[in-house]
């Protein structure tokens, strides 16, 4: 189990920038704690659950899904196990084959969301995309993101689809 712990600095009701706390949001006793994991085996999930962790970030390696049936089976089973444990999942979709179009990626992601999207709360499209060799330029990334957002929300309307943070290089030009 590869872990990267992150905990917010206060409770979910802490006011932003030191402003007054809204009266309709009573303070909670426990901060939200999330973890990144590259494995969702039964033992991993038992360990995660025993720590009181409720949010898990996992990666869906597109190229591995396409190339390896064992990866597909275990990844989907891990997502289902996590859902059975009541965990809230953020999936980072990563390593899209270089010969794919945005439309192909969208339909591929639609099929994943249709199959297991009920268990995934947030889909993050890409991971530090613009700082890696072979990365997509911002305009092309936007095409992939829009195709992904449409496809996921068609298959799993409850899901949130988010863009990556940008990394180095093109990030600022894409955001502005």
Q: What is the pLDDT of residues 120-166, one digit of tens each?
A: 999 999 876 655 555 677 788 889 999 999 999 999 999 999 987 55
Mean pLDDT of 54-61: 92
Contacts 24+ apart (CB under 8 A), 37-44: 37/1, 37/2, 37/3, 38/1, 38/2, 39/1, 39/2, 39/78, 40/78, 40/79, 40/81, 40/82, 41/1, 41/78, 41/81, 42/81, 43/1, 44/1
Q: What is the mean pLDDT of residues 51-78?
A: 93
Helices (H) and strands (E) in the chain, counts: 6, 6
pLDDT, residue 110, reads 95
pLDDT tens sequence across 4-55: 333 333 334 443 344 344 445 455 555 666 888 888 999 999 999 888 899 9
What are the CA-CA distances from residue 79 to residues 24, 41, 161, 171 (Å)?
34, 10, 17, 30
pTM of the model: 0.74
Kind and range of the H or E run holding 141:
helix 138-155
For residue 11, what are its two tokens? 């409770």
pLDDT score, position 159? 93
CA separation for the pair 162, 82 (Å, rounded): 21
State whether residue 85 is helix, strand or coil.
coil
């Amino acid at each position: 189990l590869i872990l990267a712990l992150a905990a917010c600095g206060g409770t979910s009701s802490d006011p932003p920038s030191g402003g007054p706390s809204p009266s309709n949001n009573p303070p909670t006793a426990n901060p939200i704690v999330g973890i990144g994991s590259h494995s969702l085996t039964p033992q991993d999930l038992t360990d995660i659950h025993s720590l009181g962790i409720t949010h898990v970030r996992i990666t869906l390696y597109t190229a591995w899904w396409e190339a390896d049936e064992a990866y597909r089976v275990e990844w989907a089973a891990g997502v289902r196990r996590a859902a059975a444990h009541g965990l809230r999942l953020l999936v980072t979709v990563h390593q899209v084959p270089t010969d794919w179009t945005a439309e192909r990626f969208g339909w591929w992601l639609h099929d994943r969301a249709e199959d297991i999207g009920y268990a995934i709360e947030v889909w993050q499209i890409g991971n530090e995309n613009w700082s890696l060799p072979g990365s997509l330029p911002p305009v092309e990334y936007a095409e992939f993101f829009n195709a992904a957002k449409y496809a996921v929300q068609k298959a799993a309307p409850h899901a949130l689809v988010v863009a990556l943070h940008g990394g180095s290089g093109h990030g600022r030009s894409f955001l502005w």
